Structure 1
């Protein structure tokens, strides 16, 4: 893998968010706000604070809301004058420090997570890339995650966390994932927290838009001992329910958001 290439980040932001219906009737879940900004923005700020500022956002359900946010991002950040006679707009101050490149990719409302990754490959080339979900925040050191991936020399690495067993269950031996079980109903231990790193060959394991990343591709990689675990004992929280959302908002409002690692 090339260490001098810029590492892009794929954000899976096309799901329906049915368990947060109170918020997602009118917007995709990644656009639900914490502290006045979409949770997607928080995730991107985290990556960018470690120098990873090229993003491929995989759109699906109500993707136009995410497009609108970024199309208007610059003007929302600073002061401006609008000349109503001719429609001219003048910016009066720096609109912010974010110098991101954001690819907004329509992947289809019904496309599965693997299919979205495969479609995103048109922006990735032959580069190592990162990927995560558009609804979870953590205080993960992204640079350490990438260093771990490079040191283990596997085709894929995902971050293992220890919340309640609602997500993909992992069995780990010597930092290598030996089995991967999607969303076990019972049990405790390490689970899939997202924040993944992939080599470009992962795309070859994705058959179509109907492929679920967390099933055949990751299960095959685990079987072949090509799936590494970056074990994270720190803060991690998804925004799956109203209770989760309220918890994240409370942390932010109290100035105690563990995932905020930027100024």
Structure 2
């Protein structure tokens, strides 16, 4: 649901309208649905062209009230439901429109199949940290920067950019250092990919956040940051929307990591045994290496000063700024070790 696209507001009709008014509304909006609301703006139901035709076959006429053809139990979703889930609902129920309603059942939007399957254009910048040496991946990285290692038929970095472009992003800034000329030679200004690519050139390694202090121009809107060795099927657009909804200074994508203790655990209090737990499973959130930052978060960074992303989050927290997590369930792979790279090659870049 594109918040900038307000055509659904024109599809609202009061419950006192007639079938003729509903037909006129369907013709004018061309979105194949009428949203019927009461005097308080609460959704009473929906009307489609098929509903009207069936009503006319029953003997209704143009002056009949729309309450005689209204579908009173339409599928609805809350405003924060993800695009992926909405698409699944549409496919499963063979419908092309789903109204979004708030807790008071007031209409706040309308999801339409044609729009939801077309990526929303995102003007926000995406920064990709591609300057690391990848020492753990030697000898693969002796003559090639880690983000340029081939996965399938293209470099790992190209997989990341392609994924983001599929989510509507087209403006990228690549932070480069180790063998950075290879990155520049390959991608250039991005025109061959129908993208815009600029470079942040680190004179020395600055960590996973420090390069942001070198930005010549501060972004005017929230921007994405990802490590150049993270392959994932995350929807970067939904991550950005989540950040904006939560009015955060910084958002960190996290994954649940499970670890099973290999032994039975004995719970004690002093010398007394108070319980047993057989091979318990510990669940923790781990940093997935993908973030969204508000422009003002850059105030915490100094040019040419090393800083890792968790430290930046701590700076923001100390300043009283809100930092939040985005729990992700999508496939994800941090290509940091030879075994990870083997997995990436085996899957051809599909995280």
* TM-score above 0.5: yes
What are structure 1's unaligned runs of at least 5 residues?
Answer: 75-94, 166-186
SS of structure 2 residue aligned to 1:211: coil
Partner of 1:234: 330
Partner of 2:206: 111
Cα-to-partner distance string for 1:31-77 (whole Å, 9 max, x where unaligned): 11101211000001111101111000011111011011113987xxx
- Cα RMSD of the aligned pairs, angstroms, is 2.4
Partner of 2:347: 251
1:65-76 paired onto structure 2 within 5 Å: 65-71=182-188
SS of structure 1 residue aligned to 2:197: strand
Deviation at 1:16, TM superposition (A): 1.2
Contact 2:229 2:336 in 1 (8 A): yes
Partner of 2:147: 30
TM-score (norm 1): 0.73
Compare CA radii of gyration and give the structure with the larger one: 2
Q: Which has the higher contact order (CA 8 A, sep 6+)?
A: 1
1:131 equivalent to 2:248? Answer no
1:180-199 paired onto structure 2 within 5 Å: 188-199=283-294
Deviation at 1:238, TM superposition (A): 0.7
TM-score (norm 2): 0.55
Partner of 2:138: 21
1:200 equivalent to 2:200? Answer no
Cα-to-partner distance string for 1:197-254 (whole Å, 9 max, x where unaligned): 11111111113423313243211334535111110022110110111011111112xx
C-alpha distance 71-143 of structure 1, shift in aligned 2 (>3 A):
closer
1:142 equivalent to 2:200? Answer no
CA distance, structure 2, for counterparts of residue 215 and residue 250 of structure 1: 31
Contact 1:8 1:124 in 2 (8 A): no
SS of structure 2 residue aligned to 1:190: strand
